[in-house]
Structures are given as C-alpha cells and as structure tokens.
Amino acid sequence: MSEIEVRLQSQLGDFELNVDFTAPAQGVTALFGRSGSGKTSVLRAVAGLVRTPQGLVRINDEVWQDEKRFVPTHRRPLGYVFQEASLFPHLSVQRNLEYGMSRVPEQERQIPYHDVVELLGLSELQRRAANSLSGGERQRVAIARALLTSPRLLLMDEPLSALDHGAKQIILPYLESLHDEFAIPSLYVSHDPNEVARLADRMVLMDNGKAIAQGDAANLLTRLDLPLASYDDAASLLVGTVSSHDHTYHLTWVSMHGGRVAIPREDLPVGRRARVQVQARDVSLSIRAHSDTSIINILPARVIDTQDISQTQVLVRLELEDGQTLLSRITRRSAMGMGIREGIPIYAQVKSVALLS
C-alpha cells in the first residue's frame, strides 16, 4: 500500500470541499487549479492544520485522519513549505534549520544536516539573522528546515509564487534535485502549468473544491476536455533520452521512439532521461514529411481528437508513435483545408522545444 490516500469533505459557508484522490507515495504529485479552487485547503487538511468533519488521510499504512482518529499536526511526520517562507524572525538561520530537526528523535533522522545545507546552498547563510535574507534565500531555508525533519510526506504550498522570476529560476533546480536526492513523496500546490510540467510526475486537477481529474501529468496537461489545454500557454510534456550532441550547430538531440527533437546544446550525458516541454502554439501540422522547411523537429503522429477553442483556432491532440501525446494549436481554416480529423496520420513540425529536466 505504497500510496497517499486523501478523502475530504467539508462545507465552509458557500464553499464545499469534496475531494477524493490517491497518489503513489513517490515522486511529486501536483495539486493544480485556479486560486480559490481549494488546493491549499486540501494541503492544510492533509497537514492537520484544519480539521474537516469528514475525511480520511492515509500515507502508506499510517492513518492520520479517519472517523475515529485525528493525529495532531505535530505528531504527523510531514514537512510543510508555506507560500511565504515564514522563518522564525527571532532565530538565526541555523536555529531555524535546527528547530524541527531537534524535535525528531535521533534514530529517526534520515537526512543529514550537512547534505541539506549543501544541496540548498545554505552554508554561507547559517550565521545570518532570518530577516536579513532575500525572498529566495528564505524560501530555500524554509525548504531545508522542512526536509531536516526527515518527513515521510512533503507538502508544498506554492513555494515559488511569492518570488520574482529570477529567484524562481534559481530555486526550481533545487526543487528538482530534491526529487532525485531524497525520494520523499510530495504534494505540490500550484497554479502555474509550467511549474507543474517541470516538477510533477502526477497531478490532481482541482476546480471549485473538487478533484475533477487525476493521473499522469503529461496526460492531463494535454486532455482537451480539461481546462488546461485551452490555456494560452498550453503545452505538452515529452519524455525521451539524450541521444547525441551536434557540436557544429550547438544542438543536443533528444530521441523518442519514432523521432527526435533538438534543443539548444546542453551539457548532458548521452543516455540520460530528458523531459521537454513543447508549447501547443509552436507545433504546426503537415500531411507529408517536408525536408524543405526550416523546422528540424518533425515527428510522425496520428490525430486523436480536435477541439475548437475560439472562432479562429483549433486544438489538435496527437499521439506519437510511442504513445506520448502532443498538442498543436492551428487555425480552423488550416484544419479544414487539410482535412484534419480523428485517426489520420500526420507530421508534427515542432518549432521549439524547451528542456525541463
């Protein structure tokens, strides 16, 4: 039973929270939705910071809440990273880091202090006062502070949303490396599709207090029946392996079964798994495989379904030869002209690809 099970029901004024989802107890599961959709409420209930009248919270075989039991927050082995870093202003960075760790019995501490400090780049900051740090530094301390309690579940409530773009870009790689280094299952609340694409393996889609869909992040991001695909920056997530480097033109090739795409040269070992993101608006379609085009990423695919998203544009959902899905946004006029319909084979021309991890 290596899984996280959450069932919650509560009525708060006009707002009804009613969610039911299960996530594997590994990797990152994103709780995704617009603000006010109830994501944070779910996270707070999982942490025991609020008590829903009815609910079940179970991590593997440990029940934190059911009809009979309610384990108070401080007895739940979890780590919580709040939207604002919320460091204790009366303590130094080091004392902040030690606050949770010192309250965990020594034999239960799995994560060495120095590993965390090094991973999050905090060695220089330890002696500083908590309120002398920048926003990004604080959030890194808050993440480290939560990790140092050796949690069995890491809860993160939009940890990047209070940061400016630059600080975000600095912290994202840290968050990605957490995943590889410590293998702590996490629930990650976010309303940013790019963040989800970059960090999450699975996602639970929230709308108006309900979990309306759950599953593989790459799959959910491209489902036409869900609101995500109609976002202006709708994008697909593809997974492949680094196959070769092109030194002449400064490219790195990522191969998938049935095709390959090029990204600007990255210093990655050949054979490494790579996650790439493709914006729907950067994918055009062609009936035949052209070689006389400036686009070098051409992937054979099949049309799964289509949906009009405005009077002029249509979203086409494609399946690649290895079963991964790709979204393309083209004009309705082109779709009509080309006779795009379910089942036809087609070539996807991808103008640009971004490496996520």
List of residues contacting other proteins (CB under 8 A): 47-49, 72-75, 78-80, 82, 84, 86, 88-90, 99-100, 103-104, 131, 145-146, 149, 155
> Could you give the count of Cα atoms lying within 13 Å of 249 in the half-sphere of its Cβ?
9
Residue number with CB closer to other proteins (132 or 177)? 132
Quote the CA–CA distance of 81 and 139 in Å, as a whole number. Answer: 8
Closest approach, Cβ 89 to other proteins, in A, equals: 5
Closest approach, Cβ 90 to other proteins, in A, equals: 4
Closest approach, Cβ 167 to other proteins, in A, equals: 16
Structure tokens at 107: 């034999």
On whether the CB atoms of residues 140 and 118 are closer than 8 A, the answer is: no
Residue number with CB closer to other proteins (49 or 355)? 49
Closest approach, Cβ 255 to other proteins, in A, equals: 43
Closest approach, Cβ 43 to other proteins, in A, equals: 11
Pairing type for strands 325-331 and 313-320 reads antiparallel
Residue number with CB closer to other proteins (99 or 174)? 99
Inter-CA distances, 292 with 278, 296, 338, Å: 22, 10, 19
Question: Which residues, listed in sequence order, are joined to residue 302 by a DSSP beta bridge?
Answer: 319, 345
Q: What single-letter amino acid sits at 6?
A: V
> Could you give the count of Cα atoms lying within 13 Å of 327 in the half-sphere of its Cβ?
30
Residue number with CB closer to other proteins (87 or 218)? 87
Quote the CA–CA distance of 135 and 277 in Å, as a whole number. Answer: 28
Closest approach, Cβ 40 to other proteins, in A, equals: 12
Residue number with CB closer to other proteins (15 or 231)? 15
Phi, psi of 240 (to 5 degrees): -150, -165
Structure tokens at 158: 């939009």
Residue number with CB closer to other proteins (78 or 318)? 78
